[in-house]
Amino acid sequence: MKERTVKETAQRLLQCESAYILIHRSPDGDCIGSGYTLLYALRSLGKKARVLCSDAIPERYHFMLPEAETLEMFYPDLIVSVDVADEKLLGDSLLEEYEGRTDLCIDHHISNTGYAKELCLDGKAAAACQVVYEILREMPVTITKEIAACLYTGMATDTGCFMYDNVGPRTLHIIAELMEAHPDIPYASINRQMFVVKSMGRMKLDGILTNQLERYLDGACTLVCVTQKLMQEYGIDDAELEGIAGFPLQVEGTEVSVVMKEREDGAFRVSMRSADRVNVSAICQTLGGGGHVKAAGCTVSGTAEEAKRILLDAVTKGMAKA
Interaction site with a copy of itself (CB under 8 A): 160-165, 167-170, 172-173, 175-177, 179-180, 186-189, 191-192, 195-200, 203-204, 206-208, 210-211, 213, 246, 249-252, 275-276
CB of 231 to a copy of itself, least distance (A): 17
Cα–Cα distance measured from residue 221 to residue 311, given in angstroms and rounded to the nearest whole number: 10
Q: Which is nearer to a copy of itself, 1 or 163 (CB)?
A: 163
Shortest distance, CB of residue 241 to a copy of itself, whole angstroms? 15
Handedness of CA 194, 195, 197, 202 (dihedral sign): positive
Measured distance CA(298)–CA(94) in Å, rounded:
20
> What are residue 281's phi and psi, to 5 degrees?
-65, -45
Three-state SS for 222?
A: strand
Least distance CB 201 / a copy of itself (angstroms): 10
Q: Are 41 and 139 in contact (CB under 8 A)?
A: yes
Secondary structure, 3-state, 80-129:
EEECCCCHHHHCHHHHHHHCCCCCEEEECCCCCCCCCCEEEECCCCCCHH
The residues, any chain, with a CB within 8 Å of residue 286's CB and separated by 6 or more, are 314, 317, 318
In whole angstroms, the minimum distance from the beta carbon of 61 to a copy of itself comes to 16
- Of 118, 94, 114, 90, nearest to 104 (Cα)? 118
End-to-end CA distance of the chain: give it in Å, rounded: 32
Within 10 A of 115 (CB to CB), how many other CB atoms are there? 20
Tell me the closest approach of the beta carbon of residue 191 to a copy of itself, in angstroms: 4
Between 183 and 288, name the residue whose CB sits nearer to a copy of itself: 183
Q: How far is the CB of 254 from a copy of itself (least distance, A)?
A: 8
Q: Nearer Cβ to a copy of itself, position 1 or 197?
A: 197
Closer residue to a copy of itself, CB minimum distance, 140 or 219: 219
Residue 252 or 264: the one with the smaller Cβ distance to a copy of itself is 252
Minimum gap (Å) between residue 125 Cβ and a copy of itself? 15
CA distances from 296 to 74, 79, 118, 188 (A): 36, 26, 24, 27
What DSSP string describes 289-312?
A: -EE-SSEEEEEE-S-HHHHHHHHH
Complex with a copy of itself: residue 117 or 198, whichever CB lies closer: 198
| 137 or 198: CB nearest a copy of itself | 198
Nearer CB in complex with a copy of itself: 2/277: 277
In whole angstroms, give the CA distance from residue 90 to residue 81: 9
- Least distance in Å: CB of 149 to a copy of itself? 15
